[in-house]
Amino acid sequence: MQSGAADALAVVHEYILVCTDCPLHLKRIQAVPGSGPAGARIMAVGEGPGETEDRVGRPFVGAAGNVLTKLLESIGLRRDDIYITNVVKCRPPGNRDPEPAEMEACSHFLDAQIEIIRPDVILILGRHALARLLPGAGGISGLHGRKVVRGDRLYVPLYHPAAALYQGSLMRTLEDDMLKVRGYLDEAEARRRQPVQAAPPVAHAQAGATKSHSPAPPSASPAHAEPLLSLVAPEPGEPVLRLGSPGATEPPTPPEPPSRDQLSLF
Ligand code: SF4
């Protein structure tokens, strides 16, 4: 089961490594697809590779990566247990911000990675990843550390670890937010342990009618068959933002279907 997701993720990585879909490929040393297990329960999404990542070929291996590793360890997680990637997979020259067109060109890769891994929690590292994954949700200063539900996915925006290198006071904020992430994961784990209620039997309309079949789970995500909506039922007083639901400030936004390019990957 798990090897199916790992194989699908490896295929996405292979496409990224040879991608020339935007100008960022021109000055890269190499593309940086992402790292971590296909069965990761947490996924972290940053902005784009920096100089060290471009050279090494792995995300978050520079100074900001060390901050991220320490933050994960502060809540009992090992870096190797989470899947880490970026909005754009090739380094913007001079570490400039990625252009909207570059993020758009690269978006189907991130969509495919999320669809394959289907993590319990997606950590959004910084404002560029926030704009890409939760457009219109608000700024990082208002959303950091909060659960945000969109479609069947649970996101937690955080300040980018690099920001704490330049503004020391943000380190404490990041540490506090990571403690909240620990709580969200514990909730997800508790919900996972709850017994799944059996679906009621399907009544056949008439003798000899064709037998009904349950819809098959997505082929790209065999390891995570249970619906993630079960993870996000809000408790009273919980700081949950449920985007795209009744009472939200923007119209409902269904999960985006895989793009044509994405489908062509499999
Ligand atoms: Fe392709 Fe993304 Fe790299 Fe642009 S940033 S060349 S779209 S992999």
How confident is the model over 206-216, as pLDDT tens digits?
Answer: 333 333 333 33
Closest residue (by CA) to atom 4 of ligand 1? 22
Average pLDDT of span 236-250: 42
Q: How many domains is the chain built from? A: 1
Q: Among 17, 88, 104, 128, which residue has the most ligand 1 atoms within 8 Å of its CB, making it the best to mutate?
A: 88
Helix (H, G, I), strand (E, B) or coil at 249: coil
**Does residue 240 lie in a domain region?**
yes
Q: Domain range for residue 25? A: 2-191+227-247
**DSSP string spanning 15-27?**
HHHT--SSGGGGT
**Does residue 64 lie in a domain region?**
yes
How confident is the model over 147-163, as pLDDT tens digits?
Answer: 999 988 999 999 999 99
- With a 6 Å cutoff on the Cβ, whether 103 touches ligand 1 is no
**Does residue 213 lie in a domain region?**
no
Contact (CB, 8 A) for 188 and 151: no
Q: What confidence tier does 47 reach under pLDDT thresholds 50, 70, 90?
A: very high
Which is the closest atom of ligand 1 to the Cα of 16? 8
Contact (CB, 8 A) for 77 and 48: no
Average pLDDT of span 69-89: 96
- With a 6 Å cutoff on the Cβ, whether 112 touches ligand 1 is no
**Does residue 257 lie in a domain region?**
no
Average confidence score pLDDT of the chain? 80
Record the tokens describing residue 143, joined without a space. 């959303």
**Does residue 201 lie in a domain region?**
no
Indicate the helix (H) or strand (E) that contains 124. Answer: strand 121-125
Q: Which of 34, 25, 211 is nearest to 122 (CA)?
A: 34
Helix (H, G, I), strand (E, B) or coil at 52: helix
**Does residue 265 lie in a domain region?**
no
- With a 6 Å cutoff on the Cβ, whether 110 touches ligand 1 is no
N residues, the chain: 266
pLDDT of residue 238: 46
Ligand 1 centroid, distance to 15 Cα (angstroms) = 10
Indicate the helix (H) or strand (E) that contains 66. Answer: helix 63-74
**Does residue 179 lie in a domain region?**
yes
**Does residue 122 lie in a domain region?**
yes
Average pLDDT of span 68-78: 95
Ligand 1 centroid, distance to 9 Cα (angstroms) = 16
- With a 6 Å cutoff on the Cβ, whether 132 touches ligand 1 is no
pLDDT of residue 255: 38
What strands lie across the sheet with 147-150, from one edge to the other? Answer: 83-86, 42-46, 121-125, 153-158, 147-150, 240-243
Average pLDDT of span 87-91: 97
Q: What confidence tier does 201 reach under pLDDT thresholds 50, 70, 90?
A: low
Say which CATH number the domain at 130 has.
3.40.470.10
How confident is the model over 95-150, as pLDDT tens digits?
Answer: 899 999 999 999 999 999 999 999 999 999 999 999 999 999 999 999 999 999 99
Q: Would you say residue 239 has pLDDT above 50?
A: no
Closest residue (by CA) to atom 2 of ligand 1? 106
pLDDT of residue 199: 55
Contact (CB, 8 A) for 97 and 194: no
pLDDT of residue 3: 79
- % of residues, the chain, pLDDT over 90: 64
